[in-house]
Chains A and B, each alone.
Chain A
Amino acid sequence: MRLILVMLLMIAGVSFANDALPDVLEARADYVSCDVDYAKDWLSMRESSGDEENVSVFDSSSYVEDLEDDLEDLYDAAEDGNRFSFGLNILELAGDSLKLIGEVVKDALDHKTLAFFSCVREGEPSLKDDRADCREEAIDKEKEAAEDYVEFELDEANEQIAILDAQGVDTSGMEEIVEHGEELIDDIDDGYSTYDPQEIRKLHLRHSRLVFLFRAEQMLGVINYAEPIIEASNNDNKEEILERGDELRDDVQDLIEECEYSDEVEDNSEYAAQNLECWDDGLDALEEFNDLRWLILEGA
């Protein structure tokens, strides 16, 4: 019974659900649908150019159907707020897009005329304009959702800080990260107003780093707080808890130094690579931290 209770607490604690997540995912699905719509319109325009120039073009209907199915799945995942499924659907859609592109390239080499290519090029600008409008709408939608998303996270973070602070945990590191989070919210408007995916990605990368550092500071604060309590306790696993806690503290301190936050993202790829490294190494630390919980309960 106690084990079940602990498991439920673990699930409740670990499964952090942000109320704004479905809106964020839906806005992204909207953005993707702009590309799918563009692809459909472009293929349709290409077929018209083929008819106009008496050039045969391949039948793209099955590819379009695949993209539409993928998009439907993507919206379903967004509605459910299922990030895992959303990510898989994105990959599926990207794979089907590549298949279509391959088929278009192959078909372009199959008895086409210069007049046909010219016709296709002439039809592209208006389609691109439509797509840009569509993307801007999706980005506006995501901006609102992103603000809600980060605000929700900051509320959660502040609640967590209040709980830990009441226990006597040093939360100064966590508080500092929350301050950076508030600065991030202030930058969301400017970032999204550029309608440049690379600029928006900078916000995402900064956010990801902050989330990691908040958890790292949380771990550090809790380990430091728990150490003397464990030392004074009669926990059967006392020695192991203290030893592993000490090692974990060193690792977390290193991670906090290595993953130092900067609100200046010079190079998206470089920042993303650092984030990846932080999360890869950090995941081990996060899991070890959660494992200590079991060790404490087991030795009680």
Chain B
Amino acid sequence: MDIKIVLLLVLGVSFLFFGCAGKKANPDEGVKYDEIESTEPDDPAPPAEEASDDDSTDVEETEEDGSDMEDGTQEEESDEEEMGADEETEELADLFVVDTDKPLEGEGFDVESPEQD
């Protein structure tokens, strides 16, 4: 009877010991699990059809968005080109400026004094 009790105690202590030791070894795995779990979507994966529809919508939207962006870029590029062309034209036109005033040619030395006559 005493031996049974001792064995039970030993088994109990052993269980407690290994149990704790097992739990102590788990945290790393737990972290890893948490990490893996956090990368998975919260919602369950949709059925194949739904997923397909959504994907197509996404593609369409993406295409639409893409075309919108493309148009916007083209407009911007066009505006930029126009502005660039304007600037270029103005720069070129600025070169076509020349002074039209004739310089002095010694005015003031031609006044005759009375005695010269």
Chain A interface residues (CB < 8 Å from chain B): 6, 9-10, 13-14, 16, 24-25, 28-29, 31-32, 35, 38-39, 42-43, 83, 86-87, 90, 93-94, 97-98, 100-101, 104-105, 124, 128, 131, 164, 167, 169, 197, 200-201, 204-205, 207-208, 211-212, 215, 218-219, 222, 225-226, 229-230, 233-235, 272, 275, 279, 283, 286-287, 289-290, 292-293, 296-297, 300
A286 to B100, CA, bound (A): 6
| B113 & A28 in contact (Cβ 8 Å cutoff) | no
Closest to A83 in B: B104
| B95 & A105 in contact (Cβ 8 Å cutoff) | no
| A283 & B108 in contact (Cβ 8 Å cutoff) | no
Shortest CB–CB separation between residue B95 and chain A, in angstroms?
Answer: 5
| The one of A10, A42, A97, A229 that contacts B111, using a Cβ cutoff of 8 Å | A97
Shortest CB–CB separation between residue A286 and chain B, in angstroms?
Answer: 5
Chain B interface residues (CB < 8 Å from chain A): 85-86, 88-115, 117
| The one of B97, B100, B105, B117 that contacts A204, using a Cβ cutoff of 8 Å | B105
| The one of A105, A131, A211 that contacts B117, using a Cβ cutoff of 8 Å | A105
Shortest CB–CB separation between residue B105 and chain A, in angstroms?
Answer: 5
Closest to A297 in B: B93
Specify which chain A residues have a CB less than 8 angstroms from the CB of B98 in the assembled complex.
14, 215, 218-219, 286, 289-290
CB within 8 Å for A169 and B108 given contacts A97-B114, A104-B114, A297-B90: no
- Give me 15 other A-B pairs in contact (C-beta within 8 A), A83-B104, A290-B100, A292-B96 excluded: A13-B97, A14-B98, A28-B107, A29-B108, A38-B113, A87-B107, A94-B110, A104-B117, A105-B117, A205-B105, A211-B103, A215-B98, A219-B98, A229-B92, A300-B86
Closest to B85 in A: A300
Shortest CB–CB separation between residue B98 and chain A, in angstroms?
Answer: 5
CB within 8 Å for A90 and B107 given contacts A14-B100, A289-B96: yes
